[in-house]
Amino acid sequence: MKKYLTVVLAAILLIINVMPVGAEEPTALAPPVIGSEAVVLMDASTGQILFEKNMHERLYPASITKIMTVLLGVERARLNEVVTMTHDAVFSIPLGASHIALDEDEQISMEQALMAAMLPSANEACNGIAEHISGSVPAFAALMNERAIQAGALNTTFANSNGLSDPRHLTTAYDMAMITRSAIENQQFRRIFGTSHYVISPTNKQPETRYLWAEHKMFECGRYEYEGVIGGKTGYTRDSGNTLVTLAQRGGRELIVVAIRSLDQAVYTDTAALFDYGFGQFSDCSITLPALTSADLEGVGGETKQAEAADQQMQAMNVVRLLHNSISPSEVQVVYTVLNPGESTAQVQADLRLANASSLMYGDLGSTMFQIQVGSPVGNTAVSILSIIAKTVLILAALAFGLRWFFKSRRMRQRKNSLSLDSQRIRIPIR
């Protein structure tokens, strides 16, 4: 009996030991620890920020500046145009700066100049591009600043075309992500941005073929090769430290990572960690925008408007955003702003943000814009009907006045013609 009891007790203890009593739920992967001074992880399709660190801090960009230079090159010139290198373009760069040994009066195509700027980061090629498009580097820098604002940059001032250190030449991680997002909409830029090697045939000044290789080490066969990388630009100066802009694609999703002021090769490990986080811990989520209310439309058209028509337009409206896998769409708050009060067609901005701050992702999910036809003023339906009636009466009155004037004029002409005939009659005396 004791033997059987011992066996039963042993079995019970075994079952208790293997049962997951109070087992912990799996925890979400925390954001990576980043060594770079400033970084941003952005969804390229929407501009949504997934993660950031000091993204609005103004820093020296170094050669990631050339993203803007190449963008203006493909936008403002044809790729087969001839760029002639001037003395200033060639010899104004400091000793030790990146170059491909272009010579004064050397002629290359715009495409060759753009490839030289993007891949080996040739500073004299950037000067040649600037002079070809704008006549001078300062004039080109002004054009760069205009284009940066168009791209959505907030705190960028470019002073040259190549990114060499200048106290006026500053940008932010956020601004460079926005500039890159705008640039990749251009297919010619995309091609150059994603090129890993290129050949420049002999020119009028150079009898040898030039072989250009991208300095970005996350491209295929690079030291830090990363699956899905389809474009990027490196940068370095003593003032800026290492800077890097990278575009990667997986499963139809494109992410942009910008890292500024990194030590040595940490710029690559930071970038890879952010891509891992973005691709691995975020999913597309459909967020239903709540129906507009009368309070949302307060003041539109000069008075509070009915919201029923707006409700109907908003019922099926959804937007897609990336959310961390541990965050539910129900945690997203939507705030409406009417941008054109006083008009019946409302321009509405919907700002999406997390209701509660989270360490797992950036809380501002961006904005979306739409238009709605706002209904009649609340309580003023009768006024609207009277307004229609009044307009109808005015039209009928004008029509009646016109007809009366027409017939009166006609009668006057008939009387005048009758009197004229009477004066012309010959009276014959009766004999």
Q: What is the pLDDT of residue 374?
A: 62
Q: pLDDT of 55-85, one tens digit each? A: 999 999 999 999 999 999 999 999 999 999 9
Question: What angle do helix axes 137-151 and 123-134 make, rounded to 10 degrees?
Answer: 90
Using CA atoms, how far apart are residues 61 and 35, in angstroms rounded to an integer?
Answer: 17
Residue 309, pLDDT above cutoff 90: no
In a domain, 277, yes or no: yes
Do 294 and 203 share a structural domain? Answer: no
Q: What is the pLDDT of residue 178?
A: 99
Do 239 and 344 share a structural domain? Answer: no
Total number of domains in the chain: 2
Q: What is the pLDDT of residue 104?
A: 98
Do 268 and 228 share a structural domain? Answer: yes
Choose from 19-28, 169-178, 369-378 the range with maximum mean pLDDT: 169-178
pTM of the model as a whole:
0.78
- Identify the CATH number of the domain in which residue 102 sits: 3.40.710.10
Residue 4, pLDDT above cutoff 50: no
In a domain, 242, yes or no: yes
Average pLDDT over residues 174-198: 99
Q: Which of 236, 259, 283 is the last residue of a domain?
A: 283
Contact call for residues 214 and 177 (beta carbons, < 8 A) = no
Rounded (10°) CA dihedral 329, 250, 115, 175: 20
Q: Which of 356, 373, 390 is the last residue of a domain?
A: 373
Average confidence score pLDDT of the chain: 85
Do 174 and 297 share a structural domain? Answer: no
How sure is the predictor about 294, in pLDDT bands with cuts at 50, 70 and 90? low
Q: Which of 339, 357, 373 is the last residue of a domain?
A: 373
Do 131 and 277 share a structural domain? Answer: yes
Residue 200, pLDDT above cutoff 60: yes
Average pLDDT over residues 316-343: 86
Do 293 and 277 share a structural domain? Answer: no
Using CA atoms, how far apart are residues 323 and 421, in angstroms rounded to an integer?
Answer: 95
Do 143 and 243 share a structural domain? Answer: yes
More confident residue, 201 or 304: 201
In a domain, 234, yes or no: yes
Q: What is the pLDDT of residue 223?
A: 95
Do 298 and 274 share a structural domain? Answer: no
Do 368 and 224 share a structural domain? Answer: no
Q: pLDDT of 215-228, one tens digit each? A: 999 999 999 999 99
How sure is the predictor about 43, in pLDDT bands with cuts at 50, 70 and 90? very high
Using CA atoms, how far apart are residues 55 and 39, in angstroms rounded to an integer?
Answer: 6
Q: pLDDT of 157-183, one tens digit each? A: 999 999 999 999 999 999 999 999 999
Give the domain range for residue 100: 38-283
Q: pLDDT of 134-155, one tens digit each? A: 999 999 999 999 999 999 999 9
Residue 347, pLDDT above cutoff 90: no
Q: What is the pLDDT of residue 288?
A: 86
Do 325 and 355 share a structural domain? Answer: yes
Question: What angle do helix axes 173-183 and 66-76 make, rounded to 10 degrees?
Answer: 30
3-state secondary structure of 237: strand
Q: What is the largest CA-CA distance in the chain?
A: 171
3-state secondary structure of 411: helix
In a domain, 309, yes or no: yes
* The amino acid at 255: L
Contact call for residues 97 and 103 (beta carbons, < 8 A) = no
In a domain, 294, yes or no: yes
Do 251 and 125 share a structural domain? Answer: yes
In a domain, 120, yes or no: yes
Q: What is the pLDDT of residue 166?
A: 97
In a domain, 26, yes or no: no
Do 278 and 298 share a structural domain? Answer: no
Residue 423, pLDDT above cutoff 70: no
In a domain, 397, yes or no: no
